[in-house]
């Protein structure tokens, strides 16, 4: 099963070079490097709820705290949650949880690379 990023799921057109990027701007989720690979996505594409200023539903969503209640109702976030909960890494809806997961994954990758 291919894991989609939010912009693919929502087909918003706000990725760099996308059909709506000129008119509506590039969504910061599509360029956020810190969350590359989280939940198997590109940039923050599968952790969009932790990126302040993301563009969803035709408007800027604001800070994490301001937007999270909207995100909990989002079909995309709930799809990611359903897909990721059964995995070893699991699902995290918080920035801190995602950062800890990235640190853990990085340490595990370092250990597996040193074993070879």
**Residue 74 corresponds to which tokens in the numbers above?**
């989002």
pLDDT of residue 116: 46
Distance CA 28, CA 55 (A): 8
Mean pLDDT across the chain:
86
Domain ranges of the chain: 6-114
How does pLDDT run across 9-58, given as a tens digit for each residue? 999 999 999 999 999 899 999 999 999 999 999 999 999 999 988 877 77
Helix (H) or strand (E) holding 23: helix 21-24
d(CA 15, CA 18): 5
Contact 51, 23 (CB under 8 A): no
Closest by Cα among 63, 49, 59 to 24? 59
Please count the CA atoms within 13 angstroms of the CA of 34 that sit on its side-chain side.
Answer: 12
DSSP string for residues in 45-96: TT-GGGSTT-EETTEE--SHHHHHHHHHT-HHHHHHHHHHTTSSS----SHH
Q: Which pLDDT band, with edges at 50, 70 and 90, does 113 fall under? A: low
Contact 45, 5 (CB under 8 A): yes
């Amino acid at each position: 099963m291919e894991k989609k990023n939010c912009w693919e799921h929502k087909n918003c057109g706000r990725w760099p070079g996308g059909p709506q990027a000129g008119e509506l701007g590039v969504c910061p989720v599509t360029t956020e490097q810190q969350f590359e690979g989280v939940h198997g996505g590109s940039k923050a594409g599968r952790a969009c709820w932790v990126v302040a200023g993301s563009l969803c539903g035709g408007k800027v969503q604001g800070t994490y705290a301001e937007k999270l209640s909207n995100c909990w109702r989002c079909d995309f976030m709930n799809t990611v949650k359903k897909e990721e909960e059964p995995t070893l890494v699991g699902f995290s809806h918080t920035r801190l949880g995602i950062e800890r997961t990235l640190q853990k994954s990085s340490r595990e990758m370092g250990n597996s690379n040193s074993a070879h």
